[in-house]
Amino acid sequence: MSVESRQSSAPAGVDEVLARVREAGGRATTSRRILLERLFAEGSHKTAEELAHEVQRVAPDVHLSTIYRNLEELERLGVVTHAHLGHGPATYHLATETHGHLSCESCGATLEAPLGLFDGLADAVRAALGFEIDPRHFAVLGHCAACRAREAAVADA
């Protein structure tokens, strides 16, 4: 089994997700809909606070805690996931965007890493320890190409 296991499902739009929410006994509230619109829009790796700001441009009264609650619920339904990129706050994105994360400790940049890159580690860890990694949820820290070049130049000087 490769690293990418089956999605519990992959809803393609806001309405599909809201239908799923209702199936699960939930309700299609406005804040939920707007949040989903933002999640389906461009740009990944948004923090709860960033999402709140975006939502509040449309519906100013939506509270940050509502964002957190909805993200939690959507995560339970398998629609979104969060990832921790280094020391800062968690970032959220659609569960359909599957990739690992690399986070530079020097400049803070985040790179997306195709899941295939993790297969070697996954196999090694599974074989040695019976542990099945989830390479989506964590960021791997380290140093990006640009910062490495810069640091090497400084070391030479």
Q: Which residues bind a second copy (CB under 8 A)?
A: 84, 102, 104-105, 111, 113-114, 116-118, 120-121, 123-125, 128-135, 137-145, 148
How near is the Cβ of 124 to DNA at its closest, in Å? 28
CB under 5 to 8 A by kind: which of DNA, a second copy, none does 30 bind?
DNA
DSSP 137: T
d(CA 84, CA 76): 17
- Closest to 8 measured CA to CA, from 61, 59, 80, 63: 80
Residues in region 79-98 near DNA by CB under 7 A: 88-90
- Residue 145 token pair: 């190409």
Instruction: State which residue, 13 or 114, has the beta carbon closest to a second copy.
Output: 114
d(CA 131, CA 91): 25
Query: How many CB atoms are closer than 10 A to CB 114?
Result: 12
Tell me the window of 1-9, 55-63, 117-125, 136-144 that interacts with DNA (CB under 7 A).
55-63
Counted residue by residue, the chain has a size of 157
Residues that bind DNA in the complex, under the rule CB under 7 A: 18, 21-22, 25-32, 47-49, 59, 61-66, 68-70, 72-73, 88-90
